[in-house]
Structure 1
Amino acid sequence: MTEAEKYTRTAVLLHWGIALFILINVSLGLGANYAPVPWQRPMIDLHKSIGITVLFLVIARIAWRLTHKPPTLPADYAPWERTLAHTVHYALYFLILALPLTGWIHDSAWSAAAGHPLKLFWVIPWFRLGFITTLPAATKHEFHLWFGIIHTYLGYTLYALVAGHIAGALKHQLLDHRPELQRMWR
């Protein structure tokens, strides 16, 4: 495999870093309700910190992608495979941006937010979205509910797309005998 067929080192690091943070965040988000009560708030706070981190990493990933052409898909991929691959990639970018934003709005509308300052990784003071925090209490409550639901369903959509993304890569690697995984591994 030539270097032109592989993603750049920066793209690879951003891809796997974002993937790892998402995996951790899924575990925290789904597991917090089942954890002992004293662990729940720290788990949710870590979930928020990782979400904000993912937001910045995906912005960096998109900026990198816009300024560095990715390797082309192999010529023998069927047109439907190319279309599906591009559609899934764009949908993943959308979701990886939308999830932290909807979570941030959800958190900013939390009724107890004023008494629980947001600190990234318990150290770095972080702000809530002022245009949300200044809403009337009833409106904030509605935002909190709706954006919690939106955040949850976007998460489920992300799980499905990630599963499809992995299945597609494994199909090309194992069934088509293409070095697909090597393109995103250094």
Structure 2
Amino acid sequence: MVQRYTNVAIVLHWLVALLIITNVALAWIWPVLPDAQVRPTIDLHKSIGITILGLALLRILWRIGHRPPPLPRGYAGWEITASHIVHWGLYAILFAMPLTGWIMDSAYEKAATTPMYLYGLFQWPRLGFILALDPATKKAVHDGFGAAHEIIAYAVYALVALHLAGALKHQWLDGTKEIQRIWFGR
């Protein structure tokens, strides 16, 4: 019998995965969009990033109270170590990516006069201590955290690729029911 994650963990996993894919796609397409569509696309990207941050917090809280099922027997020691490194790396990115984006956005030169709305519904606060910085420091913060946001994007690609490769290797090559552990239904 396959030992599965809880239904809540499964929903959070796939919801975050879908949001990450959407946000990556938005970041790739806005450079080629007509000018009138760029700002709404970036605003949606920001809203999704904040949503991912909230869901990441929920995932951590859920995981603290609900231990994941043990890995199937037969995994090599290096596979177990790699699995833990990749999973914790993904958790770190779920926080680092939206936080660097939020800091960068708060340091945007027009942030004080250009409000950000979460899904167009209500104003999302900028980080006040960053808004209060002098213009030169604010620009340095914007540029530095913007660069970090971009670098972390490459870590997202690498860790997601490793995560998928490991799951597919175990599922198809090793014959373990790895995907069934994190998929809906029985």
TM-score relative to the length of structure 1: 0.97
**Structure 1 counterpart of 2:30:** 32
Distance 1:83 1:155 in 2: 23
Q: Deviations over 1:41-66 (max 9, x none)?
A: 00000000000000000100010001
- Return structure 1 stretches of 4+ with deviation > 4 angstroms: none
Counterpart selection for 2:174 from 173, 176, 185 = 176
- In structure 1, the partner of 2:162 is 164
The correspondence for 1:47, drawn from 45, 53, 63, is 45
Corresponding residue for residue 67 of structure 1: 65
Is the partner of 1:114 in helix, strand or coil? coil
State the alpha-carbon separation in 2 of the partners of residues 32 and 95 from structure 1.
22
**1:121-140 Cα shifts (integer Å, max 9, x gaps):** 01121100011100000000
Structure 1 residue 153: deviation in Å?
0.5
For residues 31 and 143 of structure 2, the distance between their equivalents in structure 1, rounded to whole angstroms, comes to: 17
Q: Distance in 2 between matches of 1:156 and 1:43?
A: 21
List alignment gaps of at least 5 residues for structure 2. none
Counterparts of 1:113-132 in structure 2, within 5 Å, are: 113-132=111-130
When the two structures are superposed, what TM-score results if normalisation uses the length of structure 2? 0.97
Which stretch has the larger CA shift, 52-61 or 107-116?
107-116
Instruction: Say yes or no: does 1:145 pair with 2:143.
Output: yes
- Pairwise CA distance, 1:20: 0.3
- What's the % identity of the aligned pairs? 52
Cα deviation digits, residues 8-44 of structure 1 (max 9, x gap): 0000000000000000000111211111111000000
Query: How many residues are paired up?
Result: 184
Matched residue SS, 2:112: helix
What is the rounded CA distance, in whole Å, between the counterparts of 2:134 and 2:70 in structure 1?
A: 50
Alignment of 1:63-102 (within 5 A): 63-102=61-100
RMSD over equivalenced CA pairs, Å: 0.7
Superposition deviation, residue 115 in structure 1: 2.2
Distance 1:173 1:154 in 2: 28
**Aligned equivalents of 1:123, 1:29: Cα separation in 2:** 22
Q: Distance in 1 between matches of 2:173 and 2:113?
A: 54
Structure 1 unaligned regions, length at least 5: none
| Equivalent in 9, 12, 16 of residue 11 of structure 1 | 9
